[in-house]
């Protein structure tokens, strides 16, 4: 008697991926690069612990689609970081995975050729090579943790993680965050609910056990100790939530749940209503709050690229505009550099006043 098949009915095929260990061996992180990543994470922890009074500024493209343009941006950011290092600690946005509400390009790892060929094995390798190049260059990297397997491939190269608005409520992502080796910012929900992010911070602080993979790619039970450097990222919702009143309400909710009032403000997304020209206004408003005595805003985020705006992905990839986003619209480099330089000078005294006595 034959029985009908009951598994993998909608799976077309399985294709082998190199294990995390194999990819690490193919693209190794040298000791100097590892020391740089560890130092970058330590700096971010000192900012969150209020030992380092500088402001964290996570700035860069909405997504990486052209590694050459990304490295061009990184070179400029490294020079700018040196100019403003007394006030700001700059970390580059290096987002390879893009969550989608329905459809759309899912990011460089998933589809590096942007043609629905989905060479994930190539995308992962090229993503690791790009991050390794940043570490050698001395530019700390921030990314969104989306696929639970990705940290095994790339996690040794990341200084800061975000858990997105669509996934902060996900148990899988809270468990994953509890084992990540870097600080993690949880975004409020897309409707503006901050309780989701606060619960995520609390959950990620606790030990968890869940299914995952080993460095050799074998299925495993992953047991974590918890991540105490979770914090909230305000990205707006049905309306912006970066203003003084919303910041104060968030501070109160964090304190009521026993969490430190560490806030990162995302100047893009709903806080700017996805209008890039409004990002500098949001940024300056937050800087003004700090100058007026706010002590809870520890970081700001900007979506920025070499060229302002965004572009559709053309069938002929040679027509892509160099350094212009293919996802959310960004502010251009000149606007970015001017905003950061002027803001670093304006807020310097207020940040020094935040410093704890030695």
In a domain, 299, yes or no: yes
Residue 10 lies in a domain: no
The 3 state secondary structure assigned to 247-263 is HHHHHHHHHHCCCCCCE
| 89 CB-near residues (< 8 Å, 6+ apart) | 43, 44, 47, 52, 54, 55, 56, 57, 81
Distance of alpha carbon 305 from alpha carbon 291, whole angstroms: 27
Distances (CA, A) of 283 to 72, 151, 244: 24, 30, 13
Residue 141: its H or E element: strand 141-144
pLDDT at residue number 354:
86
Q: Cβ(97)–Cβ(144) under 8 Å?
A: yes
Distance, first Cα to last Cα, the chain = 79
Contact status, residue 234 vs residue 271, Cβ threshold 8 Å: yes
Which pairing describes strands 209-213 and 219-223: parallel, antiparallel, or unpaired? antiparallel
CATH of the domain at 259: 3.20.20.70
| Residue 356: burial class (beta carbons within 10 Å; 0-12, 13-18, 19+) | exposed
Question: What confidence score (pLDDT) does residue 357 get?
Answer: 55
CA distance 135 to 129: 10
- pLDDT at position 217, please? 96
User: In sequence order, what are the residues at sequence separation of 6 or more whose Cβ sits closer than 8 angstroms to the Cβ of residue 209?
Assistant: 221, 222, 223, 224
β-sheet bridge partners, residue 264: 233, 299
Q: Give, to the nearest 10 degrees, the angle between helix 333-354 and helix 279-291.
A: 10
Q: Which long-range contacts (CB under 8 A, 24 or more apart) does 210-216 make?
A: 210/172, 210/175, 210/176, 212/148, 212/149, 212/152, 213/20, 213/149, 213/152, 214/20, 214/152, 215/19, 215/20, 215/21, 215/24, 215/152, 216/19, 216/20, 216/21
Question: Which residue reads 């094995």 in tokens?
Answer: 121
pLDDT at 103: 75
The answer to whether residues 143 and 95 touch, using CB atoms and an 8 Å cutoff, is yes
Task: Please state, in angstroms and rounded to a whole number, the distance separating the CA atoms of residues 136 and 78.
Answer: 12
Q: Is residue 4 part of a domain?
A: no
Range of the domain at 109: 20-354
Beta-strand ranges (E) seen in 6-107 are 55-60, 88-93
**Is the residue at 187 inside a domain?**
yes
Asked whether residue 11 is assigned to any structural domain, the reply reads no
Residue at 2 is within a domain? no
Number of domains in the chain: 1
Q: CA quadruple 301, 306, 308, 311: dihedral positive or negative?
A: negative
pLDDT of the chain along its 358 residues, tens only? 777 889 999 999 999 999 999 999 999 999 999 999 999 999 999 999 999 999 999 999 999 999 999 999 999 999 999 999 999 999 999 999 988 767 789 999 999 999 999 999 999 999 999 999 999 999 999 999 999 999 999 999 999 999 999 999 999 999 999 999 999 999 999 999 999 999 999 999 999 999 999 999 999 999 999 999 999 999 999 999 999 999 999 999 999 999 999 999 999 999 999 999 999 999 999 999 999 999 999 999 999 999 999 999 999 999 999 999 999 999 999 999 999 999 999 999 999 998 765 4
- Rg of the chain, C-alpha, whole Å: 20
Q: CA distances (Å), 119 to each of 21, 62, 111, 116, 255, in order?
A: 19, 21, 6, 9, 45
Whether residue 116 lies inside any domain: the answer is yes
In a domain, 12, yes or no: no
Contacts 24+ apart (CB under 8 A), 65-72: 65/108, 65/114, 65/320, 65/326, 66/320, 66/322, 66/323, 67/126, 67/129, 67/130, 69/305, 69/306, 69/322, 69/323, 70/94, 70/130, 71/130, 71/133, 71/134, 71/137, 72/306, 72/323
């Amino acid at each position: 008697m034959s029985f009908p098949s009951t598994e993998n009915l909608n799976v077309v095929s399985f294709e082998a991926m190199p294990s995390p260990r194999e990819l690490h061996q193919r693209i190794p992180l040298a000791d100097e690069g590892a020391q740089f990543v560890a130092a970058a994470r330590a700096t971010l922890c000192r900012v969150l612990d209020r030992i380092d009074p500088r402001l964290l500024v996570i700035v860069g493209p909405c997504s990486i689609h052209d590694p050459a343009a990304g490295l061009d941006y990184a070179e400029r950011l490294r020079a700018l970081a040196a100019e403003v290092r007394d006030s700001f600690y700059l970390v580059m946005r290096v987002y390879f995975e893009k969550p989608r509400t329905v459809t759309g390009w899912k990011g460089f790892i998933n589809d590096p050729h942007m043609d629905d060929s989905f060479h994930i094995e190539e995308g992962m390798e090229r993503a690791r090579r790009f991050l390794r190049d940043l570490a050698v260059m001395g530019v700390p990297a921030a990314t969104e943790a989306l696929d639970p397997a990705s940290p095994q491939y790339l996690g040794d190269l990341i200084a800061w993680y975000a858990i997105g608005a669509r996934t902060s409520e996900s148990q899988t992502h809270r468990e994953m965050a509890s084992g990540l080796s870097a600080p993690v910012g949880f975004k409020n929900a897309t409707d503006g609910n901050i309780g989701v992010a606060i619960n995520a911070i609390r959950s990620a602080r606790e030990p968890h056990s869940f299914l995952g993979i080993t460095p050799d790619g074998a299925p495993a039970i992953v047991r974590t100790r918890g991540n105490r450097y979770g914090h909230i990222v305000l990205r707006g919702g049905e309306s912006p939530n970066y203003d003084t009143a919303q910041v104060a309400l968030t501070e109160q909710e964090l304190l009521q749940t026993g969490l430190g009032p560490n806030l990162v403000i995302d100047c893009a997304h709903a806080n700017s209503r996805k209008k890039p020209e409004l990002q500098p206004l949001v940024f300056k408003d937050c800087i003004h709050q700090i100058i007026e005595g706010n002590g809870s805003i520890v970081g700001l985020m900007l979506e920025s690229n070499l060229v302002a705006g965004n572009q559709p992905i053309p069938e002929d990839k040679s027509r892509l505009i160099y350094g212009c986003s293919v996802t959310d619209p960004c502010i251009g480099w000149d606007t970015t550099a001017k905003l950061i330089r002027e803001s670093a000078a304006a807020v310097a005294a207020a940040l020094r006043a935040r410093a704890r006595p030695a």
